[in-house]
């Protein structure tokens, strides 16, 4: 069937060049391509009849029809590149890919610390969540009068942080919107998790606010003043003037510190640094002040003494250097003598036979007798 459709499409393409057969050929092409697509699509997806359909929802209703080629929510794996991979039905998934998550790997131990898994694990100690009834009450008050029950007022009433109160209002608004659209909610799961994690009513256990970052110019961070219940709300503060004065003083001290360059934005000179010359004590600068004092002779004598001291130091240094050189020379001579003695002691002595010695002595006697009177010549 597919081969016949292909031949029909080729025939239609050949007929496109002729003038009178344009309309009929175009119809043939459309029919051929539709038959080819339907036959190939039906042959490539035989498991559509057994696949489980997704539950009814607004998102599924707004999704494209199954006949479109780009639909990905038909219970099978997407063939397009980069598209998400759809999961198999639960009864098939629990028998195939879920086996690796049901039991831990050999030798790896359990996937949790303790004898029980999440959320009954003793090592899992998160802060207790807020009870669902408290969230509903927060939303009811805010919806009744948003101007009176603002986020700050609700935070003070239920002892919850501002950001968490705002998140609760947003989640409750989304919950009401989904309820109006007939979308399923995990209310049963929410109630069971609140029961397991020990949800609390924050009216009884207040939530601590995060610490506020202190100002750089403050001495010990933000100062808090406590008032008695008998005092009115508009009672003047006692420590506020002192704190303001201390802050102003500290700011002026910081401004007076040198910054490494001229302050071009300053309106006036600093109060700490005074613009005046350093104090100088001038006694007398006339020529008569040097008469009869003998300063020139005294300076010359001191210069001679300094020269003599320098010469003595140089002579002592030269003598020490000569002594060291002489000691080194003596040591070298001593070592050379010791080396010579050692070499002579190591040389072997040759012993001559007695007969040869007597023969040589006889020859020496004969030589002396031959010379005669020449041997007695005096120098």
Q: Tens of pLDDT along 342-355?
A: 777 766 655 555 55
End position of a domain, from candidates 168, 197, 226? 197
Residue 379 lies in a domain: no
pLDDT recorded at residue 302: 82
Lowest-confidence pick of 15-19, 136-140, 165-169, 334-338: 15-19
* Mean pLDDT score, 240-265: 77
* Mean pLDDT score, 169-186: 91
Residue 354 lies in a domain: no
Count other Cβ atoms within 10 Å, centred on residue 54. 13
pLDDT recorded at residue 330: 92
Q: Helices marked H in 118-203 — which ranges?
A: 132-144, 151-158, 162-180, 187-197
What gap in Å lies between CA 268 and CA 224, rounded to an integer? 36
Query: Cα–chain-centroid distance for residue 3?
Result: 64
> Which residues make beta-bridge pairs with 9?
none
pLDDT at 59 over 50: no
CA angle 245, 251, 256 (to 5 degrees): 130
- Bigger pLDDT: 33 or 258? 258
pLDDT recorded at residue 73: 42
What gap in Å lies between CA 344 and CA 249, rounded to an integer? 96
For 12-44, write each residue's pLDDT tens digit.
445 444 444 434 444 444 444 444 444 444 444
For 133, residues 6+ apart whose C-beta sits below 8 A from its C-beta are 201
Q: What is the mean pLDDT of the chain?
A: 68
> Which residues make beta-bridge pairs with 200?
130
Report the run of H or E that residue 319 belongs to, with start and end.
Answer: helix 295-346
Residue 103 lies in a domain: no
pLDDT at 366 over 70: no
End position of a domain, from candidates 181, 197, 213? 197
pLDDT recorded at residue 138: 93
Confidence of residue 327 (pLDDT cuts 50, 70, 90): very high
Residue 337 lies in a domain: no
Report percent pLDDT > 90 for the chain: 13
- Bigger pLDDT: 365 or 107? 107
Residue 138 lies in a domain: yes
pLDDT at 323 over 90: yes
Residue 191 lies in a domain: yes
Residue 182 lies in a domain: yes
End position of a domain, from candidates 176, 197, 218? 197
What gap in Å lies between CA 57 and CA 67, rounded to an integer? 19
Structural domain range at position 146: 132-197
Q: How many CA atoms lie within 13 A of 46 on its CB side?
A: 1
Residue positions counted in the chain: 379
Most confident of 195-199, 254-258, 266-270, 303-307: 303-307
The DSSP 8-state label assigned to residue 130 in this structure reads: B
For 97, residues 6+ apart whose C-beta sits below 8 A from its C-beta are 88
Number of compact structural domains in the chain: 2
CA separation (Å) from 225 to 237, 248, 339, 375?
8, 19, 97, 137
Residue 249 lies in a domain: no
């Amino acid at each position: 069937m597919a081969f016949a459709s292909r031949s029909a499409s080729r025939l239609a393409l050949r007929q496109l060049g002729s003038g009178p057969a344009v309309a009929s050929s175009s119809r043939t092409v459309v029919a051929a391509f539709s038959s080819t697509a339907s036959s190939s699509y039906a042959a490539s997806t035989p498991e559509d009849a057994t696949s489980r359909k997704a539950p009814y929802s607004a998102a599924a209703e707004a999704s494209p029809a199954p006949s479109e080629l780009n639909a990905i929510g038909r219970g099978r794996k997407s063939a397009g590149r980069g598209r998400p991979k759809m999961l198999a039905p639960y009864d098939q998934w629990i028998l195939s890919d879920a086996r690796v998550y049901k039991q831990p790997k050999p030798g790896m131990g359990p996937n949790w610390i303790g004898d029980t898994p999440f959320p009954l694990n003793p090592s899992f100690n998160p802060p207790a969540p807020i009870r669902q009834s408290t969230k509903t009450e927060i939303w009811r008050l805010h919806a009744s009068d948003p101007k009176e029950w603002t986020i700050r007022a609700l935070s003070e009433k239920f002892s919850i942080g501002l950001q968490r109160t705002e998140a609760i209002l947003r989640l409750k608004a989304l919950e009401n919107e989904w309820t109006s659209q007939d979308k399923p909610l995990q209310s049963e799961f929410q109630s069971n998790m609140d029961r397991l994690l020990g949800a609390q009513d924050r009216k009884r256990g207040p939530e601590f606010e995060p610490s506020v970052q202190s100002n750089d110019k403050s001495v010990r961070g933000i100062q808090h003043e406590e008032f008695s219940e008998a005092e009115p709300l508009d009672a003047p503060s006692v420590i506020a003037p002192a704190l303001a004065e201390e802050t102003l003083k500290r700011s002026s001290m910081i401004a007076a510190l040198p910054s490494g360059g001229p302050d071009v934005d300053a309106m006036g000179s600093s109060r700490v640094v005074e613009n005046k010359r350093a104090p100088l004590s001038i006694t007398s600068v006339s020529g008569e002040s040097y008469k009869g004092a003998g300063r020139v002779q005294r300076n010359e004598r001191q210069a001679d003494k300094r020269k003599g001291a320098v010469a003595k130091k140089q002579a002592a240094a030269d003598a020490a250097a000569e002594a060291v050189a002489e000691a080194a020379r003596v040591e070298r001579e001593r070592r050379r003598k010791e080396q010579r003695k050692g070499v002579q002691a190591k040389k072997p002595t040759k012993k001559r036979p007695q007969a040869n010695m007597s023969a040589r002595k006889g020859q020496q006697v004969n030589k002396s007798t031959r010379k005669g009177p020449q041997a007695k010549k005096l120098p």
